[in-house]
Amino acid sequence: MEDEYKEIVRKFNEIYNPLRKRYNLRSHIHSSIYESEDDLIEIWEYSGETRGRCIVREKETEIIDCYKRAIDELKNYKQEREEREHGRSAAMAG
């Protein structure tokens, strides 16, 4: 279980860190030691110090499940942003 956790956190950071730098993202990760509380990962877009749109909000009973779902959402976010930017640059070129 610990190896799986380390691997999933590594995968999360692998996709999150470049996006964090490029799109000014910030994350909030909460893992509770109490079974009655859910674990949480939130990722927000920021403009300077102003919090903008929430792009990921995963709440699960296990933190590893939060990471897995957050990875999928970050991949979708990355694809959407790149498509939007590509569309803009194509429109500017034309």
Higher pLDDT, 87 or 40: 40
Distances (CA, A) of 20 to 6, 9, 35, 69: 20, 15, 30, 17
pLDDT band at 93 (very low <50, low <70, confident <90, very high): low
pTM of this prediction?
0.88
**pLDDT of 94 strictly over 70:** no
So what's the pLDDT on residue 87? Answer: 81
The mean predicted confidence, pLDDT, of the chain is 93
**pLDDT of 91 strictly over 70:** no
